[in-house]
Amino acid sequence: MTVYILLPCYNEESNLRQLVDEISQACHNLDYKIVAVDDGSRDGTYQLLLALSRTYPLIVLRHEDNKGLHEALRTLLLWTYENAGESDYIIMMDSDLTHDPRYIPQLISACEEKEADVAIASRFAEGGKQVGVPLHRVLLSKGLRILVKITLGISVRDISSGYRCIRSANIKKIIKVYGCMRFIEAKGFDVQLDLLFKLVSHGARVVEIPFTLDYSKKGGRSKLKIFRTVLGYLQTILRLKRFPTGVREAS
């Protein structure tokens, strides 16, 4: 079993050395590989990734232009589709230091011990918390949780968490069902809901583990635009409600 840790990177030069070192320490007992995509960064992110790849088990991918989180995740997940085995695990996490790598072994253990296909690092699970998170983000997360439960029937408490462990077999399954372009249709931070809904719709079992999101550790400026993010989530919820299995009528 290999663990693939996926890092979408956009202007993360100031964070990556510390992050990769912390991943290495957290995963020292695991067979792991880090797969990072530089999404058209304007700083030295790509050059630093190449330098780190000479020391750590790090595979570097690159977008010449900035395409956004959804395309960065598409590139990373399609890479695992081609390269990861059915029994492997995929870790999705942010590169801004707010996702502490020490939770990686706990996420994997949660999948194995509870026979789950997806484990989410959750601020809202019992024992989880958030520190220094802006009020508008707190309200957005709580409102989203209620809306998604009512409209889509998903009872996950931390819908928007991007820190997840997913069995490779389940990622391969939704890519086969939806195709390379439509397994991700969202175009913003709502990509997390888009992926989760499709995984659950095709049999994935989900658990959550308590996690502390500490915004005081965040490196760089937030890339979340509140109005655009709210609109994106609403559009994604409406689309998923209308086409719950991804089936479209022929045009």
Q: In this structure, are residues 104 and 152 in contact, taking their beta carbons and an 8 Å threshold? A: no
Work out the percent of the chain whose per-residue pLDDT is above 70: 94
pLDDT mean over 116-130: 97
Model confidence at 218, pLDDT cuts 50, 70, 90, reads confident
pLDDT mean over 100-107: 99
pLDDT tens-digit map of 85-95? 999 999 999 99
Domains of the chain: 3-242 (3.90.550.10)
3-state secondary structure string, 81-122?
A: HHHCCCCCEEEECCCCCCCCHHHHHHHHHHHHHCCCCEEEEE
**Pairing mode, if any, of strands 212-214 and 3-9?**
unpaired
Q: Is the dihedral of CA 173, 176, 177, 178 positive or negative?
A: positive
Q: In this structure, are residues 70 and 92 in contact, taking their beta carbons and an 8 Å threshold? A: no
Round to whole Å and give the CA distance between 204 and 196. 9
Round to whole Å and give the CA distance between 167 and 146. 26
Weakest-pLDDT range from 126-140, 213-227, 229-243: 213-227
Residue 208 CB: number of other CB atoms within 10 A? 23
Model confidence at 251, pLDDT cuts 50, 70, 90, reads very low
Quote the mean pLDDT of the chain.
93
Q: Please tell me the pTM assigned to this model.
A: 0.93
Find all residues with CB under 8 Å of 20, minimum gap 6, and list them.
34, 52, 56, 58
pLDDT mean over 205-233: 83
Model confidence at 174, pLDDT cuts 50, 70, 90, reads very high
State both tokens at 153. Answer: 């029937």
Q: Identify the burial level of 198 via C-beta atoms within 10 angstroms of its C-beta, where 0-12 means exposed, 13-18 middle and 19 or more buried.
A: buried
| 12 has a pLDDT exceeding 60 | yes
| 223 has a pLDDT exceeding 60 | no
At 216 the pLDDT is 86
| 245 has a pLDDT exceeding 80 | no
| 65 has a pLDDT exceeding 70 | yes
Q: In this structure, are residues 116 and 154 in contact, taking their beta carbons and an 8 Å threshold? A: no
| 183 has a pLDDT exceeding 90 | yes
| 8 has a pLDDT exceeding 50 | yes
| 246 has a pLDDT exceeding 70 | no
Q: In this structure, are residues 91 and 109 in contact, taking their beta carbons and an 8 Å threshold? A: no
Question: Among candidates 63, 61, 65, which has minimal Cα distance to 79?
Answer: 61
At 127 the pLDDT is 97
